Each structure stands twice: as structure tokens, then as C-alpha cells.
């Protein structure tokens, strides 16, 4: 009888132990936080051909003299931008980089919803890509206020934030010392989404047209079209 009981107790112990281990394993898997994407890119970027990023189906189609198949800060940044599948909200002070403009137009032609906010003074200078975007049918709004719109951020698919010191210019990418931070951290992404919405609504040209219609005297409000 006593041997039987010992066997039963040991059996019970083994079952309890295996159940506990299973339970702990499940808890561990559930509680381990999923790795949030956080990446920092520094510039100036090495100068290399980025044609393969635009034409991934034929990666060896370019015969230019720049180095090929080189992963650079700029190529990583371009990939992040081109990863957009539903929307891209861009709020950038200076935008004259033709590769970045090509990426935005490519996304637009793929059906990605693009909204761009830019600084009204910079948008008007020679080399600015804002006109190219507008010609492609992309919605662009420029800040109405007389202050600098000095942001340089983008939100991809409402979940990925790209922000930093880097204006979207060739000089910034190839010459300056700059940083770009790429993150999916919701506490960082959410405020930028909210701020984009605020600036976008604040610079709605239809609203400004209406308010200037109501004001017969010469106003200082600048009219911008989408």
C-alpha cells in the first residue's frame, strides 16, 4: 500500500511539474515583448546606384558608373519609404532630391495615398520637387503661416515614423552630417500622426479661400492649392 502511494505521489509530482513548466513556457512566450522596429541611419551616405531599389525585378539592369549592390544609409531610407502599402504622410521643409521624388511618385502610381506638406518658401525655389509631385497628381499643401515649417518627417502606413535632421535634398544625403530615426514605437509615432493631421487641416486651402473671401481688405493669408 505504502509503495503504491509513493508511486502515486511521484506520478502526481511529475504531472504537476510538467504542467507548471508548460504554463511557465506559455507565459514566457506571451509576455516577451515583440521586438519593435527601431533603426538609426547616419549621413552622409556612401554614393551608390539605387536603380535596383526601383526595379527589383531586374536588379542588374543599370550600367551607370556608380558602385552597384551596395547597401547604404540612403538605400535603406529609400527602402523604408518604398515599403508603404496604403499611405504615406510627408512633412518636409526642403524637398529637392530626385530619387526621393521618384519614390513618392512610384508609390502614388501604385495607389498609395500620399499627402505632402512643405514649406511655402522652399517649395518655390529652383530644384524643388514639389512641382513634380503636384504634376503627378499628388496632394501637396504648403504652410500658410509666415514661420518656417522646419519638420522633416514621414509616417508610412500610419505605423512607421521616419524623422530626423535630414531634409530631402541631395546635399543632405550625400554631403551633410545628418541623422534619420526609423521607429514603429507607438508612443513616438502617434504624436507625429496627430501633428501631421493638425498641420494638414490648418493649411486646407479651401478653408483659407473662404476666410479670405470674407475679408474684403488685402489680407496676408497666402493661398495654396492642393
Interface residue list for a copy of itself (CB under 8 A): 1-2, 5, 8-9, 12-13, 16, 20, 23-24, 27-28, 31-33, 38-40, 42, 44, 93, 143, 145, 147-153, 163-166, 171-172, 175-179, 181, 183, 185, 187-188, 191-192, 195, 199
- Judged by beta carbon, residue 88 or residue 172, the one nearer a copy of itself is 172
- Judged by beta carbon, residue 114 or residue 182, the one nearer a copy of itself is 182
C-alpha cell, 12: 502526481
Output phi, psi for 54, to 5 deg: -80, -30
**152 classed as catalytic:** yes
Q: What angle do CA 119, 125, 131 make, to 5 degrees?
A: 75
- Judged by beta carbon, residue 137 or residue 186, the one nearer a copy of itself is 186
Q: How many residues does the chain have?
A: 226
Minimum distance between the CB of residue 198 and a copy of itself, rounded to whole angstroms?
9
Query: Which of 40, 77, 64, 81 is closest to 174 using CA atoms?
Result: 77
Pick the catalytic residue: 157, 202, 204, 226? 157
Minimum distance between the CB of residue 35 and a copy of itself, rounded to whole angstroms?
9
What strands lie across the sheet with 113-118, from one edge to the other?
139-142, 113-118, 87-92, 152-156, 160-164
- Judged by beta carbon, residue 54 or residue 200, the one nearer a copy of itself is 200
- Judged by beta carbon, residue 75 or residue 143, the one nearer a copy of itself is 143
Minimum distance between the CB of residue 47 and a copy of itself, rounded to whole angstroms?
13
**52 classed as catalytic:** no
Minimum distance between the CB of residue 216 and a copy of itself, rounded to whole angstroms?
29
- Listed in sequence order, the residues at least 6 apart from 152 whose beta carbon sits closer than 8 Å to its beta carbon are 91, 92, 93, 163, 164, 165, 166, 167, 168
d(CA 108, CA 114): 6
Pick the catalytic residue: 8, 150, 194, 197? 150
Q: What angle do CA 212, 206, 169 make, to 5 degrees?
A: 105
**8 classed as catalytic:** no
Minimum distance between the CB of residue 151 and a copy of itself, rounded to whole angstroms?
6
- HSE (side-chain half, CA atoms, 13 Å) at 193: 15
Output phi, psi for 189, to 5 deg: -70, -45
Query: Which residues participate in catalysis according to the annotation?
Result: 150, 152, 157
Amino acid at each position: 500500500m505504502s509503495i503504491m502511494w509513493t508511486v502515486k505521489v511521484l506520478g502526481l509530482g511529475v504531472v504537476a511539474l510538467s504542467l507548471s513548466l508548460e504554463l511557465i513556457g506559455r507565459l514566457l512566450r506571451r509576455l516577451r515583448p515583440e521586438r519593435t522596429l527601431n533603426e538609426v541611419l547616419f549621413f552622409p551616405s556612401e554614393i551608390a546606384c539605387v536603380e535596383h531599389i526601383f526595379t527589383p525585378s531586374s536588379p542588374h539592369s543599370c550600367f551607370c558608373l556608380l558602385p552597384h549592390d551596395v547597401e547604404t544609409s540612403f538605400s535603406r531610407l529609400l527602402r523604408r519609404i518604398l515599403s508603404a502599402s496604403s499611405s504615406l504622410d510627408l512633412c518636409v521643409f526642403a524637398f529637392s532630391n530626385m530619387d526621393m521624388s521618384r519614390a513618392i511618385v512610384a508609390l502614388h502610381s501604385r495607389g498609395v495615398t500620399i499627402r505632402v506638406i512643405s514649406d511655402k518658401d522652399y517649395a518655390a525655389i529652383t530644384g524643388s520637387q514639389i512641382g513634380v509631385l503636384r504634376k503627378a497628381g499628388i496632394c501637396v499643401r504648403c504652410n500658410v503661416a509666415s514661420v518656417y515649417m522646419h519638420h522633416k518627417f514621414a509616417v508610412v502606413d500610419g505605423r512607421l515614423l521616419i524623422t530626423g535632421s535630414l531634409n530631402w535634398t541631395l546635399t543632405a544625403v550625400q554631403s551633410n552630417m545628418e541623422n534619420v530615426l526609423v521607429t514603429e514605437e507607438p508612443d513616438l509615432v502617434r504624436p507625429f500622426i496627430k501633428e501631421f493631421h493638425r498641420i494638414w487641416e490648418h493649411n486646407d486651402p479651401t478653408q483659407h479661400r473662404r476666410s479670405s473671401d470674407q475679408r474684403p481688405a488685402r489680407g496676408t493669408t497666402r493661398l495654396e492649392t492642393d
